[in-house]
Amino acid sequence: MTESTTATKFIVPPPFDSESAGDCILRAPDGTEFKVFKAILYVGSTIFRDMFDMPPAAQENKDEAIMPTISVEEDPETMQTLLQMLYPVEPPSVKSLSLAWKLVTACDKYFVNNEKVRLHLKETLRNSQSLKEDPLTCYSLSWRLGLEEEVIAASRYTHSVDLSNNAVAQKIVSTSGSLEAFARLWDLKFRREKALDRILALAQTKINRDMACRNHPTATGSAKDHSTRKDDLRLALLVPSPVCSDVEIFLGFQAGKGNPTCSDCRYKRSHILEEFRGEVNEALTTYPQAIQGYVTPSFCSMRRKDTN
């Protein structure tokens, strides 16, 4: 038996379907048609405005009114979302970063007002699931749109990204439209690496600290080699908001234990480590987690501002 697979036909909803009112048709590459009002597109996009200001093509049969049809390059989902942005209807729900990117590209192409794009994409770019699944796209698109808070938030999720990879660097620059976006992440990586030794150094005094009470022999600790501890700490700090719950595991050392049957030895050790855990968590509040010196990309100012 031969199985035939057919692509699911895109269903155009009102007010863009064939039954709705309109005076122009937008046709997607797959043949899907959207019936629209030229006046709405005229106001919402300077590119459509320029199109409609051009003299109409001559008709073969002047007695027959033919609705003008414009072929567009966007797929049906992107075009419908764009039209929902321009029309006074329920705003679109942009649930995927893939659609967000296609929508940004379409809005750039048709010179749609930046504020409208920001308004409809903010929630998608700050969504925790989006940040976890593709922080680089969230970061780069937010930069492209000039969403400062979203840029800074997304940068906290990029710590595991290999910035030395040329493909990664090219994606950041091309998606954000700015070399500065890449430079800020590189600066963040440099500052984080430099701060690792400062965090590790906190443990040194505790490794050599006597954890035994005065009635028992001195009990100092031990630690893994510095390189291993640094590698382990680097991994622990990849999360957006690191917290130290077990200071010995977190910093790769073991404090002295004194006499295990002595309550005074146990209390001394527990008390010192709990205080130290607080010190480490306090130090983590100043550990570099987000970019500094965000610069609104010149790309945003290059867009026409005369669109309503």
Per-residue confidence (pLDDT) for residue 61, from 0 to 100: 52
Per-residue confidence (pLDDT) for residue 57, from 0 to 100: 62
Return the beta strands (E) in 160-263 as ranges: 222-223, 253-254
pLDDT higher than 70, residue 303: no
Interatomic CA distance for residues 17 and 6, integer angstroms: 22
The arithmetic mean of pLDDT across residues 184-200, rounded, is 94
Identity of the amino acid at 195: A
Give CA separation, 17 vs 28, 52, 106, in Å.
13, 21, 21
% of the chain at pLDDT higher than 70: 90
The arithmetic mean of pLDDT across residues 39-57, rounded, is 86
Lowest mean pLDDT among 64-78, 94-108, 142-156, 279-293: 64-78
Instruction: Of 300, 270, 31, give the one whose Cα is nearest residue 180.
Output: 300
Per-residue confidence (pLDDT) for residue 205, from 0 to 100: 86
220 is written with which tokens?
Answer: 């100092």
pLDDT grade, residue 59 (50/70/90)?
low
The partner residues of 251 in beta bridges, in order of sequence, read: none
3-state SS class at 141: helix
Per-residue confidence (pLDDT) for residue 7, from 0 to 100: 60
How many CB atoms lie under 10 A from the CB of residue 5? 4
Contact in structure between 10 and 76 (CB atoms under 8 Å): yes
pLDDT higher than 90, residue 220: yes
68-88 confidence digits (pLDDT tens): 899 999 999 999 999 999 999
Place of tokens 């705003």: 91
Per-residue confidence (pLDDT) for residue 297, from 0 to 100: 57
Per-residue confidence (pLDDT) for residue 170, from 0 to 100: 96
119-135 confidence digits (pLDDT tens): 899 999 999 999 999 99
Lowest mean pLDDT among 1-5, 144-148, 206-210: 1-5
Per-residue confidence (pLDDT) for residue 63, from 0 to 100: 44
The arithmetic mean of pLDDT across residues 194-211, rounded, is 91
Residues whose CB falls within 8 Å of the CB of residue 251, separated by 6 or more in sequence, listed in order: 199, 200, 202, 203, 229, 233, 244, 280
pLDDT grade, residue 116 (50/70/90)?
confident
245-298 confidence digits (pLDDT tens): 999 999 999 999 999 999 999 999 999 999 999 999 999 999 999 998 776 654
Per-residue confidence (pLDDT) for residue 305, from 0 to 100: 42
Per-residue confidence (pLDDT) for residue 293, from 0 to 100: 76
Per-residue confidence (pLDDT) for residue 1, from 0 to 100: 39
Q: How much is the pTM?
A: 0.83
Per-residue confidence (pLDDT) for residue 296, from 0 to 100: 63
Lowest mean pLDDT among 9-13, 27-31, 235-239: 9-13
Please tell me which residue, 200 or 4, carries the higher pLDDT value. Answer: 200
Give CA separation, 166 vs 79, 170, 172, in Å.
32, 6, 10
The arithmetic mean of pLDDT across residues 26-44, rounded, is 95
